């Protein structure tokens, strides 16, 4: 191979994808939209068919020292379902490809699969195919999910308009703090002289579950449908709120204002963050893996969303020239930068704040 | 992790898949068939929608010492298209997930992508999405392809009937011999004292191209459609003719007889095999990666297929109790065993013969 020229970490994941896909011209009638949303939209018969895919690599996306294989399987499936729900679609089928190194036995893979199948059962999704191979290194999990939506129902990232209300479901930062806690206890265990050392997670069950066994917000999608709310844009929070807000604003060509005091943070998230000298706000903005839904609705839908259990209005969409900013408790504005999770960045300890004066 | 119990190599890829998926119950109306064919069949609107996926791992499926990245990208896409054609479908969309280790630059990934996009262009397929991530080890490529067919047109592996004619397109064993040649020359280069050593591939271009830049048999599918031939079963030859024949016979609950003298082997394949002390028949039966189409047609379609350029009738389907056998030049029968490529088997040099007295 030739001399190295452009390090991928300089572009980051999204920069690289942009560079590789920016001039793609779609040719098939059945293709509606391509690269650049939670899922691509196709049109087969009278249905919008959605497709999304996720690649999980050992050592990058998971660490088997503290993630049980069954949980890993469950999560690998659910994060794909989440991408389909984030289009207001319904997940229907998945394919599962596995690369398996020689240290895994059939029983290990059965445990992984049992988690995948449990998720499929819970969300009513069929496992229809896949590919299984040896791997010379770690475990590789590649899942692709198909879903559908009624014509015109799929919600993209690109439809937000000035004055729209920005909403988010659930709470943010918990999965990130769960991961920090797991990593800390794992380090303590590794350095402990007590061979029977057992980490004490009591009172932190919620943040652990958010990390190890996340759920997709099918319930929120169902309520929005039931109430006749048609979000103008939607995506799931997988890389952190900052990163997702910037995606919606860029794709919709708008700006936004989000209020610090309205960002939903759970109590366990807050106390664990403080204990570990991490700002809870940083965990919420940059943590990622929340799999909550971030969406915008017209101002006229305020009445419909304000009393939905588990949905919080956190700000509003502006004209693009106003940029994206966080409004702090004291009313000052901080520009939002993306410091969402970037697998290409070199590890340098804790996440850095996503905001900058 | 607990003690290891069942080594995966004991079950092999297909045994493992059977074990993981045997009791799956399909729940969605849109799911027609699941695991166990070249592609799964779904039903969206009035279309049969097909989905297939392939996972390619560095060190298992490809070796970057002699595979250019652009070729690798092309092949990774084409092998998926081949699975869709092997259902008599038309490939429409792909998603591409990449795991990229730090030794790759943006330019490397652009080269890989240029091959994928060239294949998409040639076959009229849209690249609609994917996932890109760092990898701590080698390159990981996971491609999923969607395609469609008119209702009832998709051809499965399970429809072959006794007296059906067995047909194969093109010739077999060339890709395997191309790989042997590349590996040999690479070894020679590695041990050569001459720093300017250049392998001489003249006269072997065909088998190299079959290995490095295979094509999917869209042309054969088009001719079969044009002539009104409706194959009773079909699959592509990716793991070797023996393995694929056994798949069709098992899934259709039939046996087969295949004539040694009718198995199509190219001249370059034959001379390279003999030079390397490999039986050309072994290369054809077990080599794999041919991406030719293996299919069965009713006896009454003999007239329609016998003059199709590039299609060869190689045998016929029998009742299941007769088993699967190769009829040699002298008229004796050799039982066909699967010695197709198994990524879970430990390397032990050359392929072993797929037949046994």
**A170 in helix, strand or coil?**
coil
* Record: contact A140-B99, CB cut-off 8 A: yes
Judge whether A18 is closer than 8 Å to chain B, CB to CB: no
Closest C-alpha to B72, from B96, B88, B93: B96
pLDDT of B270 reads 97
Q: In terms of pLDDT, which residue wins out, B10 or A164?
A: A164
Place of tokens 């590349």: B182
One digit per residue, the tens of pLDDT, for chain B of length 357 reads: 444 477 888 888 888 888 888 888 888 888 888 888 888 988 888 789 999 999 999 999 999 998 999 999 999 999 999 999 999 999 999 999 999 998 899 999 999 999 999 999 999 999 998 888 899 878 999 999 999 998 889 999 999 999 999 999 999 999 999 999 999 988 888 888 887 788 888 899 999 999 999 999 999 999 999 999 999 999 999 999 999 999 999 999 999 999 999 999 999 999 999 999 999 999 999 999 999 999 999 999 999 999 999 999 999 999 999 999 999 999 999 999 766 555 565 443 333 333 433
Query: In chain B, what is the greatest distance between 2 CA atoms, to the nearest angstrom?
Result: 64
Domain with CATH 3.90.650.10 in chain A: 165-356
Mean pLDDT for chain A overall: 90
Judge whether B125 is closer than 8 Å to chain A, CB to CB: yes
Q: What is the pLDDT of residues A40-66, one digit of tens each?
A: 988 888 789 999 999 999 999 999 998
Cβ proximity of B56 and A151 under 8 Å: no
- The tokens for A76 are 């690998």
* Record: contact B100-A142, CB cut-off 8 A: no
Within 8 A of B60 by CB-CB distance, chain A residues are 99, 133-136
Q: Which residues contact A325 (CB under 8 A, 6 or more apart)?
A: A255, A256, A257, A258, A333, A334, A335, A336
In the stretch 147-186 of chain A, residues with CB closer than 8 A to chain B read: 148
Cβ proximity of A182 and A213 under 8 Å: no
CA pair distance B321, B89, nearest whole angstrom = 32
pLDDT of B356 reads 37
* Record: contact A127-B24, CB cut-off 8 A: yes
Judge whether B191 is closer than 8 Å to chain A, CB to CB: no
In the stretch 261-320 of chain A, residues with CB closer than 8 A to chain B read: none
Closest C-alpha to B212, from B184, B181, B243: B181
* Record: contact A134-B60, CB cut-off 8 A: yes
* Record: contact A47-B51, CB cut-off 8 A: no
Alpha-carbon dihedral of residues A278, A284, A289, A295, nearest 10 degrees?
Answer: -170
Domain with CATH 3.30.1330.10 in chain B: 8-149
* Record: contact B54-A97, CB cut-off 8 A: yes
Of A8, A17, A60, the CB nearest to B136: A60
Cβ proximity of B248 and B160 under 8 Å: yes
* Record: contact A53-B16, CB cut-off 8 A: no
pLDDT of B258 reads 97
Q: What is the pLDDT of residues A315-347, one digit of tens each?
A: 999 999 999 999 999 999 999 976 655 556 544
Q: Which residues contact A251 (CB under 8 A, 6 or more apart)?
A: A36, A37, A156, A157, A158, A233
Of A51, A57, A140, the CB nearest to B146: A51
pLDDT of B355 reads 41
Q: What integer is the mean pLDDT of A17-37?
A: 85
- The tokens for B136 are 């701590």
Q: In terms of pLDDT, which residue wins out, A2 or B247?
A: B247
Judge whether B59 is closer than 8 Å to chain A, CB to CB: yes
The superfamily CATH assigns to domain A165-356 is PurM-like C-terminal domain (3.90.650.10)
User: Residue A33 forms beta bridges with which residues?
Assistant: A41
Cβ proximity of B314 and B308 under 8 Å: no
CA pair distance A293, A300, nearest whole angstrom = 20
**A188 in helix, strand or coil?**
helix
Nearest CA distance, B208 vs chain A (angstrom): 20
- The tokens for A250 are 């860029």
CA pair distance B224, B88, nearest whole angstrom = 9
Cβ proximity of A149 and A90 under 8 Å: yes
- DSSP one-letter string for B318-338: E-GGG-EEEE-TTS-EEEE--
CATH class of this structure's domain B8-149? alpha beta
Q: In terms of pLDDT, which residue wins out, A2 or A54?
A: A54
Identify the band that residue A349 occupies on the pLDDT scale cut at 50, 70 and 90: very low
- Residue B146's alpha-carbon distances to A85, A137, B49, B128, B261, in angstroms, are 20, 29, 7, 10, 37
pLDDT of B339 reads 61
Measured in degrees and rounded to the nearest 5, phi and psi for residue B46 equal -95, 5
Neighbours of B151 (CB within 10 A): 12
Within 8 A of B117 by CB-CB distance, chain A residues are 24
CA pair distance B18, B25, nearest whole angstrom = 14
The model's pTM is 0.90
CA pair distance B272, B277, nearest whole angstrom = 9
Out of A87-101, A254-268, B4-18, least confident range: B4-18
pLDDT of A11 reads 81
Closest C-alpha to B292, from B193, B179, B169, B176: B169
């Amino acid at each position: 191979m030739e001399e190295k020229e452009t390090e991928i970490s300089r572009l980051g994941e999204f920069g690289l994808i942009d560079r590789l896909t920016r001039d793609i011209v779609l040719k098939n009638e059945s293709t509606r939209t391509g690269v650049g949303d939670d899922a691509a939209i196709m049109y087969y018969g009278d249905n919008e068919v959605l497709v999304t895919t996720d690649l999980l690599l050992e050592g990058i996306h998971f660490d088997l020292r503290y993630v049980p294989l069954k949980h890993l399987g469950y999560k690998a499936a659910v994060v794909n379902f989440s991408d389909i729900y984030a289009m207001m679609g319904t997940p229907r089928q998945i394919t599962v490809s596995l690369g398996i190194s020689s240290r895994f036995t059939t029983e290990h893979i059965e445990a992984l699969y049992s988690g995948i199948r449990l998720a499929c059962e819970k969300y009513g999704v069929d496992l229809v195919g896949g590919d299984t191979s040896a791997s010379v290194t770690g475990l590789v999990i590649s899942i692709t999910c198909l879903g559908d939506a009624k014509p015109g129902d799929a919600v993209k990232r690109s439809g937000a308009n000035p004055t729209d209300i920005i909403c988010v479901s659930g709470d943010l930062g918990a999965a990130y703090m769960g991961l920090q806690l797991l990593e800390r206890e794992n380090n303590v265990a590794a350095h402990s002289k007590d061979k029977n050392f057992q980490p004490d997670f009591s009172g932190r069950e919620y943040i652990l579950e958010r990390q190890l066994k996340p759920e997709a917000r099918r319930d929120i999608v169902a309520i929005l449908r039931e109430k006749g709310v048609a979000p103008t844009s939607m995506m799931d929070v997988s890389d952190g709120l900052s990163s997702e807000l910037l995606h919606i604003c860029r794709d919709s060509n708008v700006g936004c204002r989000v209020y610090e005091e309205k960002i939903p943070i759970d109590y366990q998230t807050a106390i664990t963050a403080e204990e570990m000298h991490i700002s809870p706000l940083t965990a919420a903005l940059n943590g990622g893996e929340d799999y909550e839904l971030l969406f915008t609705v017209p101002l006229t839908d305020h009445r419909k969303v304000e009393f939905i259990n588990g949905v919080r209005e956190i700000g509003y969409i502006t004209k693009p020239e106003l940029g994206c900013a966080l409004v702090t408790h004291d009313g000052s504005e901080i520009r939002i930068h993306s410091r969402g999770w970037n697998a290409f960045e070199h590890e340098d300890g804790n996440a850095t704040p996503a905001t900058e004066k």
